[in-house]
Structure 1
Amino acid sequence: MKNLLVIANLNHASPRMPGIMPHLPAGGWRAHIVTPQFPANAPGVSDFFRAQCPLIDAPYAGDALMFWRRLLMRRGFKSGSSMTEQLAARMPQGKSSLAGTLVQWYQALFTYPDAESTWIRPAVEAALAAAQNTRFDAVLSTAPYSSSHYAALCVKKQLDLPWVADLRDLWTRNHNYPFFAPRKALDSFCERRLFAQADAVVTTSPDWARTQSAFLGRPVRSITNGYEPPRTPQPPADRKFSIVYTGPVYQGKQDPEPVMAALASLFSKKLLDPAKVSLDFFGQQRAFLSELVRRHGLESVTAQHGPVPHAESVLRQRSAQVLLFLQWEASRKGVYTTKLFEYLAARRPILATGAYSPEGPSDIIRATNSGALAETAADAERILLEFYNAYLASGSVPYGGLPEKMRAFEYPQLALDYAALLDGLGGK
């Protein structure tokens, strides 16, 4: 059995690493995880993960903004809540956005490569200490944050190991890159220089792999995110025709209105019985969602339940009649979100909105036969009526996912893909 040293802050690298890494022994590798302390209920962290992956503690004293957080807490700010939001609430009227701007500028000017840079040295020291007792054959780092990659580069050089850089999130090519142009130019230079020294670079979708390959001028491999195959029986479907969405909805980035318009139209035509229908959102409550609900007269069937624990979110997904998947705007067409794979694991029909994109989420849904795509409100109306009639006929909307197609996105298969990549590095 070969040993893989993984540098991953599991406060940020979950559920990808806790999902894939415990299955590596099937491919002849065992992952040893260098990480700071993380919550026991972190997404993907299971008893199976803990049994299969030895954990190497790398102390974490807080990020580069910790001094300012402590100072603000002495002035009455609450821990556990966003300091930026609390600061914005105390700004003069009309100046609330200045709080976010100040924090962003501070990070751009004084944190490098990111606010987690304080963890680089503890991670390297913990990795080198572990190497005194275990012979490692490769090192892997995963982002967020880029600091983990710099720690891995140090380990690669000191232990003479092949290094795999896993980009769960992109760095400067990220659509949410936060800083101004001069900082982006500096980051771009450093990113190219950093990953030129990696023996392999991996990211999570074919579209991102092409983007990153063109930017770095080197091959980049795609190994997607995924999900753990369900080990327990499927729970009974909700008694109502429930349309369930879990997670936050981002205004201007995702559009639930076509589905709401379709429901309103079907109610007005008396093709759906409102008493048998529910539209449920589990996540941060949004004022713009409430306005859309009011505009389409859906108050009696729609509920924003607020955030729920991850375990409850998964249960709601598995018992839903229909899962609502709101694709992102065109600039994120190649992004495979964690939600997509949670929905695949739920084994319930998916109603996706937005335009079809090859190698996008809708392509996976179509290829696995896990649901249907509504590009327009008319599409949503047709699909919802088909689902509803099936629900009336049997009490549950039938699920038609193709197991042989879905297997490619299950953690055991992704681990074998990763093991093959590691074998190709040639070892020390």
Structure 2
Amino acid sequence: MGIKNILIISYHALPFDVVASYRTKGYCDYLIEYGIFPTLVTHRWEKGSDKNWAFHNENEKIIYEKSNNCNIIRLPRPVERFESNSPINTIKHWVKGDFDLHLLNSYKLFKIFLFDHLKNKKYDAVLAIFSPHYHLKLAFEINKQFKIPYVLDFRDLWDNQIITKSYNPPLKKKIQDLIIKFYWRKWLNKSIFFSTTSSKWISYLEKLSSVKGIKIRNGHEISSLPKKNYKTNIFRIAYFGRIYPYQNLEIIIKGINKFINRNYPIDEFELCLIGIKNVGQFNGAQIFKKFINEKYIVEHDYMSKEELIKFSIKNVNLFILPNLKEDNGSFFVKLFDYISLNKPLILAPKNGSENDIIVKKTNAGLLTSSSTKIALYLERQYRSYREAGMVNVAIDKLQFKDLHRTKQVEILAKEIKKY
């Protein structure tokens, strides 16, 4: 069987350094190992003079990049905005299947390019990665026009809380949810299959449509765990990235305070919060500072992934990860980052999620719903730090290796090659 050619549609791609871009990168890097050659269509992600991601005129140059494992076509990135004070105008867009209103210019630009490109270029399949929504819409429209089969790949649901018991949105959001469900069902039902990152989401999307789903975790790209654990000048625990309002901070905060009180006075302890951004009006860092003595808290600005890894390897002893209040099917990609740094972690409270499964599978640290157990675990690791300048971890390297991104891509490739 010869090489299959696949067209990948993804707004997110490096050098735009967000989690979504690394899933796209994984497909571009590893599909060729399994007999599939990808061509990615994305935007030109370039920094402007103000150091923000630049916008372009729509008629600016298209950049073509070729390599042994993939081709990348970079379209200019048009201005992102949607200016309307009219709810009726917004709903009119929803009814047409346009939900990324600030990205309407991108959708139009992608569609014009792809419909022209596909007149002369043949592909065996299209892979459309959500989000944004318009990728799904484009795959459907391409199939209708050019009869190319397509796969839909979901990193998330449009709102991960929609599958939880506590989900109770306002009326406008309920209307939007109903319209999105209509279109997702329509787009899914014409796909050959879909992929997503958790069993809960597979179940939800299979019920929404009549199509089979497969699990493709995000995976990691670490070839080996760091061999050396550096001695640190202080017992430092850390969290990096966003803190969401549906994470349960209470158990970990109580555990940290019990640890502090049991070892008071303690001068060699620091809670390091790195690159914490507000989520809407929710300020997660402020909650830590409200309930933990601020003398133990140090905040750092955002770091690039490379800077973050270097900092964490040399300066962090242990990571904390407040779990979801209710399992909504989502997976913390930072969990792989934590494990890959060969540091122990605390995930709390238990909720039966994919996050729990990975921590247990890899023996990455403590999984508990007890603040007392958190305090005792911190105390044990603190004693190890006092004696040796570092902490103890015994990650199951074989289990971690099985979670490498190339293994996840292999699952997708095998399914594509059935068609």
| TM-score strictly above 0.5 | yes
Selected match of 1:25 from 28, 32, 43: 32
Counterpart-to-counterpart distance in 2, 1:291 and 1:174: 22
| Matching residue of 2:325 | 329
Q: Is the 8 A contact 2:253 2:291 kept in 1?
A: no
| Matching residue of 1:389 | 383
Counterpart-to-counterpart distance in 1, 2:187 and 2:112: 20
| Matching residue of 1:160 | 147
Deviation at 1:370, TM superposition (A): 1.2
Counterpart-to-counterpart distance in 2, 1:233 and 1:378: 30
Deviation at 1:361, TM superposition (A): 0.3
**1:5 maps to 2:11:** no
Counterpart-to-counterpart distance in 2, 1:232 and 1:121: 44
Q: Is the 8 A contact 1:244 1:281 kept in 2?
A: yes
Deviation at 1:53, TM superposition (A): 2.5
TM-score by length of 1: 0.79
| Matching residue of 2:244 | 250
**1:277 maps to 2:290:** no
- RMSD of aligned alpha carbons: 3.1
Change (3 A) 1:269 1:120: closer
Selected match of 1:182 from 152, 171, 175: 175
Paired amino acid for 1:197: K
Q: After superposing the two structures, state which structure 1 stretch, 171-180 or 154-163, moved more.
A: 171-180
Change (3 A) 1:174 1:301: closer
Q: After superposing the two structures, state which structure 1 stretch, 48-57 or 416-425, moved more.
A: 48-57
- SS state of the match for residue 222, structure 2? coil
After superposition, the C-alpha distances for 1:349-383 in whole angstroms (9 at most, x for unaligned) are 111111240x4201111111111113121121121
How many residue pairs match? The answer is: 381
Q: Is the 8 A contact 1:351 1:371 kept in 2?
A: yes
Q: Is the 8 A contact 2:244 2:284 kept in 1?
A: no
Counterpart-to-counterpart distance in 1, 2:10 and 2:349: 34
**1:364 maps to 2:358:** yes
Deviation at 1:273, TM superposition (A): 6.2
Q: After superposing the two structures, state which structure 1 stretch, 403-412 or 321-330, moved more.
A: 403-412
| Matching residue of 2:74 | 57
| Matching residue of 1:315 | 310
User: Which contiguous aligned blocks of 4+ residues in structure 1 show a shift greater than 6 angstroms?
Assistant: 48-51, 102-106
Where does structure 2 lack aligned partners over 5 or more consecutive residues? 53-64
| Matching residue of 2:392 | 398
**1:198 maps to 2:191:** yes
Change (3 A) 1:17 1:352: same
After superposition, the C-alpha distances for 1:239-281 in whole angstroms (9 at most, x for unaligned) are 3221010012234x223343333333233333x7622211100
| Matching residue of 1:379 | 373
Deviation at 1:294, TM superposition (A): 4.9
Q: Is the 8 A contact 2:366 2:377 kept in 1?
A: yes
Alignment of 1:410-421 (within 5 A): 410-421=404-415
After superposition, the C-alpha distances for 1:141-190 in whole angstroms (9 at most, x for unaligned) are 00111101111222223333221001112136653989522332222222
Counterpart-to-counterpart distance in 2, 1:16 and 1:49: 19
- SS state of the match for residue 79, structure 2? coil
Q: After superposing the two structures, state which structure 1 stretch, 315-324 or 397-406, moved more.
A: 315-324
Counterpart-to-counterpart distance in 2, 1:242 and 1:135: 54
Q: Is the 8 A contact 2:259 2:376 kept in 1?
A: no
| Matching residue of 1:349 | 344
After superposition, the C-alpha distances for 1:82-108 in whole angstroms (9 at most, x for unaligned) are xxxxxxxxxxxxxxxxxxxx6988645
Selected match of 2:42 from 35, 44, 52: 35
